[in-house]
């Protein structure tokens, strides 16, 4: 009987406890959902829409700007009342505005620091109180492959904030579309559309990347790339002194050593691996330390594989260049190399890249293009800005001779190519009216070193005629006196404000 009473008592206790436990669980679930919604709102409020008016120079007519265009991008609030976004969102911008989530007002903003190499920029808003209700998002660590990430931004097609989810599928060196630099990037299988640029990639309420570009090969859909935390931190550290130093270049170039015969020829054992040095530039940090035909075995503590890769973690391999990119200007990089089978180690001081190790300088932004008009002929330096002026399909539509020059190394004797871009028809240049996109290799028999030297030789010429010649022997002859006397008339006729770009001649 007593046992039966205990059973009834126990059952009553259980019947009483179940609603209490359910209530506790529901309360905990409600609290968790409320907490998650609160964290989500904080992230949403920290994602900013950025509006810009951009007016880029026209490198076909370098005294003019292209028609201004309006565009938009995304950004995220970080410490110091700063908004982190892409450089290409604000490149060549004449006017910048920032708009908060669920706030119709646009606030005037300005760029405080920009790294075109890393496609990152920092902007801020001076309006009092703009940042007071916004949480600064911390910079987190690179996720492991196959981890889920969230992408925040304001893509075209709507005004409200968009959140998409994806998987980190790959981490490796990529060509950054904005600047053409080769840096570490993460790949995600989330849709990246215009307007998403600059938006944060989020894991656990932390920024683990900045969206920068969609897949450009058109062979795959829903693939996008982001700037990873190591590159973000490099740029944030770079800005501390207010001067942009960028990423170092030690001044040597390599090729892979996948061939067993090649490894044997350069003195490597079967258990050794590395990459072959094929070029050491004059005046570079590596000059006097490395030699052509050396084999780079290690950079700092990273072993270099025959294909040029290093191991960042158990699941991530990337190009050895990243080991150098981790350094700031002025730091020492430890290089272990083999020369004729003998292994040595040396430190190389990380320095800024020279103006260009290629004859064709990379794309520049927020700069005035150089030009010089002489005898009605428009002369310009060859760079990627000019080549890309042929449109999105510049790799096919730009002149072959200009494209081929990208594969040539620079040297102290030849640092830059000069192009006779077009002829402004006049009596002084009769016979050459249809000449265009013509590389000038000699001026009055003297080799052309760069645009500055070429312009100086033109301006100070004392010969009766200026003879311009290319490597194939074709010549353009301009009478010097006629070129000088016709300058004002040609400028007036073609509505050109000046015969040369501002600052070309240091007067």
Query: Strand ranges (DSSP E) for 142-289?
Result: 148-153, 162-175, 182-188, 200-203, 206-214, 224-227, 252-255, 275-280
Q: Strands 47-54 and 69-78, how do they pair? A: antiparallel
- The DSSP line for 110-144 is EEEEEETTTTEEEEEE-STTTTTT-PPPPB--PPP
Cβ-proximal residues to 366 (8 Å cutoff; 6+ apart), any chain: 91, 92, 114
| DSSP-derived 3-state class of residue 76 | strand
Positive or negative: CA dihedral 16, 18, 23, 28: positive
The dihedral over CA atoms of 208, 213, 214, 215, expressed in degrees to the nearest 10, equals: -100
Instruction: Map tokens 């938006």 to a residue.
Output: 199
Residue 118's CB: how many other CB atoms inside 10 A?
A: 26
Backbone angles phi, psi at 88, to 5 degrees: -70, -15
Query: Is 328 annotated in the active site?
Result: no
CA distance 104 to 88: 24
Tell me how many helices (H) and strands (E) the chain has: 11, 28
Q: Of 223, 220, 229, 141, nearest to 185 (Cα)?
A: 229
| DSSP-derived 3-state class of residue 150 | strand
Cβ-proximal residues to 197 (8 Å cutoff; 6+ apart), any chain: 73, 74, 85, 86, 88, 89, 153, 211, 212, 213
Query: Is 88 annotated in the active site?
Result: yes
Q: Of 97, 84, 100, nearest to 137 (Cα)?
A: 84
Catalytic residue, from 46, 76, 115, 119: name it: 119
Query: Is 197 annotated in the active site?
Result: yes
Catalytic residue, from 46, 74, 88, 179: name it: 88
Catalytic residue, from 162, 197, 284, 486: name it: 197
Could you list the active site residues? 88, 119, 197
């Amino acid at each position: 009987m007593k046992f039966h009473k205990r059973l009834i008592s126990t059952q009553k206790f259980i019947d009483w406890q179940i609603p209490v436990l359910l209530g506790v669980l529901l309360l905990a679930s409600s609290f968790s959902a409320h907490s998650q919604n609160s964290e989500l709102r904080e992230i949403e409020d920290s994602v900013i829409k950025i509006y810009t008016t951009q007016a880029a120079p026209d490198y076909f007519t370098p005294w003019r700007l292209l028609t201004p265009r309006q565009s938009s991008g995304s950004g995220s609030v970080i410490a110091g009342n700063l908004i982190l976004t892409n450089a290409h969102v604000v490149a060549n911008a004449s006017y910048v505005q920032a708009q908060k989530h669920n706030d119709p007002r646009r606030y005037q903003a300005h760029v405080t620091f920009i790294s075109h190499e890393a496609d990152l920029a920092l902007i801020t808003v001076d309006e009092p109180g703009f940042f007071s209700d916004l949480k600064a998002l911390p910079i987190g660590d690179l996720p492991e492959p196959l981890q889920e990430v969230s992408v925040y931004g304001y893509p075209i097609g709507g005004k409200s904030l968009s959140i998409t989810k994806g998987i980190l599928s790959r981490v490796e060196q990529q060509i950054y579309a904005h600047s053409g630099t080769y840096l570490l990037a993460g790949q995600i299988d989330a849709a990246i559309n215009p307007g998403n640029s600059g938006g944060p990639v989020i894991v656990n309420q932390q920024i683990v990347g900045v969206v920068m570009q969609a897949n450009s090969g058109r062979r795959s859909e829903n693939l996008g790339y982001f700037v990873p935390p190591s590159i973000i931190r490099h740029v944030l550290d770079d800005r501390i002194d207010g001067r942009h130093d960028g990423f170092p270049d030690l001044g040597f170039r390599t090729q892979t050593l996948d061939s067993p015969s090649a490894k044997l020829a350069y003195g490597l054992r079967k258990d050794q691996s590395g990459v072959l040095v094929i070029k050491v530039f004059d005046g570079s940090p590596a000059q006097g330390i490395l030699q052509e035909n050396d084999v780079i075995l290690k950079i700092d503590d990273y072993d270099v594989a025959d294909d040029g890769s290093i191991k960042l973690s158990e699941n991530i391999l990337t190009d050895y260049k990243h080991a150098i990119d981790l350094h700031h200007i002025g730091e020492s990089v430890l290089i272990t190399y083999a020369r004729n089978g003998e292994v040595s180690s040396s430190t190389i001081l990380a320095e800024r890249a020279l103006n260009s190790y290629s004859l064709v300088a990379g794309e520049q932004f927020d700069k005035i293009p150089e030009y010089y008009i002489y005898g009605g002929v428009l002369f310009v330096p060859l760079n990627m800005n000019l080549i890309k002026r042929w449109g999105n399909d510049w790799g096919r539509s730009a002149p072959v001779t200009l494209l081929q020059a990208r594969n040539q190394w620079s040297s102290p004797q030849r640092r830059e190519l000069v192009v006779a871009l077009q002829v402004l028809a006049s009596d002084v240049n009769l016979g050459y009216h249809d000449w265009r996109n013509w590389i000038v290799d000699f001026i009055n028999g003297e080799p052309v070193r760069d645009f500055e030297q070429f312009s100086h030789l033109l301006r100070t010429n004392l010969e009766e005629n200026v003879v311009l010649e290319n490597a194939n022997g074709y010549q353009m002859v301009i009478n010097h006196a006629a070129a000088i006397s016709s300058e004002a008339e040609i400028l007036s006729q073609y509505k050109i404000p000046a015969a040369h770009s501002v600052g070309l001649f240091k007067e």
